[in-house]
Every structure is written in structure tokens, then in C-alpha cells.
Amino acid sequence: MIPPVGSLLVSTYAMDGDEHFDRTAVALFERDDDGVTFGLVINRPAGVPAAEVLEDADELLIDPDEDCFYGGPVIGEHLLLAEFSERGGVESLAVRDGVPTELARPRPWLGDRIGIVLATLEDPATLRPLLVRTRLFLGLSCWAPGQLDEEVSRGIWRVAPTTADALFCTEPDALHEELLAQTR
């Protein structure tokens, strides 16, 4: 089974002991043309306020004092999970030098209400009025072509539907068990 973009992966107990994915829920947000799949671990707070990590946190985030989350083991750009009040004007965003232009667009899902945005915007204040909820992620998760499909078929992951409340969960420690129970 190929888990669709926009779904949640819920790790099973076959994952016990894996330092990156043990007891996690991962939101899949993109699969590229080569079959590489990208996602964010949504239930692992980093214990660091976003304002300590992102220089423009006050201009971009709804609550800059909220903890960042570990998005996965692949370190790189910080990613912003955003719920939009409207999508007008966010089809493309100006990002800072050194960031590939193909990353300058929000990756939408959930009927275009939710998107992933690079947190290296040239003018974050232009996006801020369109946001309802935000969460900053450090790193992301990715799977090589066919890797995730094979892991799902082996029972390492269960697939669940995504909801905005799960993506922005207020009780991240309880989310894994709740989702695991829903997928039984």
C-alpha cells in the first residue's frame, strides 16, 4: 500500500527502540516525481521555544513561545506547519538567498487549509495575517522510493486520516496512542 500524501503514519510497536520514529505520528506532505516521500513527525516537542530558534518568530508565528517540534532526522531548513484563514497570495513566497525556488511554494493539503512553508521567508510579516495556527519544525522525515511502501506492508506503520487537530495537537504525548487505537 502506498500511503497517500496528506495521511498520517502511526508507528507500531515493531518500531520500538528506533530513536527517530518510536511512538511517533508522521504527517506525509509530499512525494516527488522520483517517489521520495517527505513528512513531519508531529508529536515530538523539542523543548525549545520557537523564538530561540527562528529570528523572525515574532513576525511569522502565532505563538513564538510555543515549543518547536522535531520533524525528523533529516536536518536542513526549518519548516512551518501553517493553517491558513485564506490562501490568497500564498501561491508563492519569497525565500532568502540559497534556498531553491521550487521550495518557495506552500505545500497544501486538507482542502488547502493547511500548508508547509519554509521558515526562511524574506518578509515573514506578509504571511502572518493569513495564519490561524502555526508550528515550527526542526528537520523532516523522508523515505527513498519504495521504502515507505515496504515498511507499511511489513506492519511498521499504520495509516490514518489527517485532521487539523491532530497536526496541531495540544497533547503530543497522547497522540500516538490515540491514533494507534483508531487504526486497529
- Residue 27, domain CATH: 3.40.1740.10
Residue 17 belongs to some domain of the structure: yes
Q: Using CA atoms, how far apart are residues 174 and 171, in angstroms rounded to an integer?
A: 6
Q: Report the domain count for the chain.
A: 1
CA dist list (Å): 155 to 1, 6, 29: 11, 19, 21
Verdict on whether the full-model pTM lies above 0.85: yes
pLDDT in tens, 45-76: 999 999 999 888 888 889 999 999 999 998 87
**Is residue 1 included in any domain, yes or no?**
no
Report if residue 181 sits inside a domain.
Answer: no
- pLDDT tens-digit series, residues 95-118: 445 444 444 444 555 566 777 777
Residue 84 falls inside a structural domain: yes
Task: Confirm whether 177 is domain-assigned.
Answer: no
Structural domain boundaries enclosing 86: 7-171
- Domain membership flag for residue 35: yes
CA–CA separation, 161 and 7 (whole Å): 5
In a domain, 28, yes or no: yes
In a domain, 38, yes or no: yes
**CA separation for the pair 163, 114 (Å, rounded):** 10
H or E stretch including 173?
helix 172-182
pLDDT in tens, 28-45: 988 888 888 888 999 999
